[in-house]
Amino acid sequence: MTAKLEGSPGAVGILLAHGAGAGQMHPWMRLMRSLLGDYYATMTFNYRYTEAARRSPDRSETLLAVHLAAAERMMGYTDRVVLAGKSMGGRMASHLVGERGWPAAGLIYYGYPLVPMGKGSPRDTSHLEAIGNPQLFFAGTRDRLGPPELIDAIASRVPRGSLVVVDDADHSFKVPKATGRSQEDELRWMAAETAQWIRLRIELGGGPHAGQM
């Protein structure tokens, strides 16, 4: 595992995990790490298969072992850790907390991969309901893997869930040129929303417990 940290250590830090198809040096990850680092210390890491330059993700047990090691390392920089992830990385974070009880301060999903690629049935998300700490879901209106209407049902069902819908965005939060917005615009806005959510839900501990920011 290699890790990269941006931002100044503080009371709360963010561990950002990459998705299935790209590692921590992918432009999406580099930009989001930098944007989040303007607010909170933010660390990324590579799963083992990424380090080995393999295309197919490891088995869940191996992914979770690496994710756990990264989370424990992040605890050396900050008092509380928010686990965030792009697609698969967010899903692995949710299993680390919901099934294995890792004490995350909160979880953030940048495109939760609810519907597996090429399949029509949603994944089992019952483990999310076992997570008592705040969970924030970002869902693009053009995301086929995490349609907002399905994600909204999950965010409303978990104990302290919130949903932010990103208009016109796909699974990577790209938007059509006709919108006049860029993917960087969207990620910058999402980073600001993330920071506000962390401040309200985790640092101050207030706000609604379901459905919306």
Residue 10's identity, in one-letter code, is G
Does residue 208 lie in a domain region?
no
Instruction: Please report which confidence band the pLDDT of residue 205 belongs to, taking 50, 70 and 90 as the band edges.
Output: confident
Does residue 48 lie in a domain region?
yes
**pLDDT tens sequence across 84-128:** 999 999 999 999 999 999 999 999 999 999 998 877 789 999 999
The CATH number of the domain where 144 resides is what? 3.40.50.1820
Does residue 162 lie in a domain region?
yes
Rounded to the nearest integer, the mean pLDDT of the chain is 93
**Gap between the Cα atoms of 158 and 146, Å rounded:** 16
**Gap between the Cα atoms of 149 and 171, Å rounded:** 14
Parent domain of 34 = 3-203
Predicted pLDDT of residue 68: 98
Give the chain's domain count: 1
Contacts of 156 (CB under 8 A, 6+ apart): 163, 210, 211
Does residue 18 lie in a domain region?
yes
Query: Cα(first)–Cα(last) distance of the chain, in Å?
Result: 34
Instruction: Please report which confidence band the pLDDT of residue 160 belongs to, taking 50, 70 and 90 as the band edges.
Output: very high
Does residue 47 lie in a domain region?
yes
Does residue 140 lie in a domain region?
yes
Does residue 109 lie in a domain region?
yes
Does residue 79 lie in a domain region?
yes
Cβ–Cβ < 8 Å for 168, 176? yes
Instruction: Please report which confidence band the pLDDT of residue 206 belongs to, taking 50, 70 and 90 as the band edges.
Output: low
